[in-house]
Amino acid sequence: MLIDVIPIRAFRDNYIWCLQSDADAVVVDPGDATPVRKHLESTALRLAGILVTHHHADHTGGVAELASEYNVPVFGPATEAIPGLGRALREGDVVPLPALGLTLAVIDVPGHTAGHIAYHGHGMLFSGDTLFSAGCGRLFEGTPAQMLASLDKLAALPPETRVYCTHEYTTSNLRFAKAADPLNPAVDARLDQTRVALEAGAPSLPSTIGAELTFNPFLRAGDPVVASMAARHAGHPTPDRLAVFTELRSWKDVF
> Is 56 among the residues known to form the active site?
yes
Query: Residue 202 has what DSSP assignment?
Result: -
What does DSSP say about strands 87-89 and 74-77: parallel, antiparallel, or unpaired?
parallel
**Burial class of 238 by CB neighbour count within 10 A (0 to 12, 13 to 18, 19+):** buried
Which residue in the list 24, 39, 54, 181 is annotated as catalytic? 54
Which residue in the list 24, 29, 32, 58 is annotated as catalytic? 58
Instruction: Please state, as a whole number, how many other Cβ atoms lie within 10 Å of the Cβ of residue 105.
Output: 16
> Is 112 among the residues known to form the active site?
yes
Which residue in the list 108, 120, 167, 223 is annotated as catalytic? 167
Q: What angle do CA 19, 23, 25 make, to 5 degrees?
A: 25
> Is 58 among the residues known to form the active site?
yes
Please give the C-alpha separations between residue 28 and each of 51, 63, 72, 94, 239, in angstroms, as whole numbers.
Answer: 5, 10, 13, 15, 38
Which residue in the list 24, 108, 129, 223 is annotated as catalytic? 129
> Is 129 among the residues known to form the active site?
yes
What does DSSP say about strands 74-77 and 46-51: parallel, antiparallel, or unpaired?
parallel
Contact 210, 160 (CB under 8 A): yes
Which residue in the list 55, 56, 116, 120 is annotated as catalytic? 56
Please tell me the distance from the alpha carbon of residue 197 to that of residue 209, in angstroms, as a whole number: 19
**Would you please indicate which residues are annotated as catalytic (active-site) residues?**
54, 56, 58-59, 112, 129, 167
